[in-house]
């Protein structure tokens, strides 16, 4: 089974489960080193239930406690969920 990529070339699809960006990048690098990047197209298949996987990582987040936060969507305090890894400085309302 051959697929057409964006450039119109025929490539053999290589189906992989979507695990992480790091795995995807490493796989693409391996194909390039092997000289197969022009003949193989990586097709990443997301898991059946992506929501549980996303929610799993929310346990490491902290609620935003800044009053009148300009970052929280819809103006509701606590919605921006500051990440434990990449803390987002919430901007306080200035008069």
Q: Do 57 and 90 have their domain in common? A: yes
CB 26 within 8 A of CB 50: no
Q: Do 55 and 92 have their domain in common? A: yes
Q: Do 53 and 92 have their domain in common? A: yes
Work out the angle at residue 81's Cα, subtended by the Cα atoms of residues 83 and 24, and round it to the nearest 5 degrees: 50
Render pLDDT for 27-86 as a digit per residue (tens, 0 to 9). Answer: 999 999 999 988 988 888 877 776 666 655 555 556 666 677 666 655 555 555 554 433
Smallest CA-to-CA distance from 29 within 8, 21, 56 is with 21
Q: Do 17 and 33 have their domain in common? A: yes
Please state, in angstroms and rounded to a whole number, the distance separating the CA atoms of residues 29 and 49. 28
Q: How many CB atoms lie within 10 A of CB 84?
A: 11
Q: Do 15 and 38 have their domain in common? A: yes
Domain holding 90, by residue range, is 49-95
Q: Do 77 and 41 have their domain in common? A: no
Model confidence pTM above 0.75:
no
Q: Do 42 and 54 have their domain in common? A: no
Q: Do 93 and 58 have their domain in common? A: yes
């Amino acid at each position: 089974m051959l697929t057409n990529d964006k450039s119109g070339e025929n490539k053999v699809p290589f189906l992989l489960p979507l695990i992480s960006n790091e795995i995807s990048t490493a796989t693409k690098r391996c194909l390039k080193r092997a000289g197969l990047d022009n003949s193989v197209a990586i097709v990443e298949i997301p898991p059946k239930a992506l929501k549980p996987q996303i929610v799993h990582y929310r346990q490491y987040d902290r609620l935003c406690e800044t009053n009148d936060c300009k970052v929280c969507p819809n103006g509701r305090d606590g919605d921006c969920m500051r990440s434990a890894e990449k803390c987002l400085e919430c901007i306080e309302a200035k008069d």
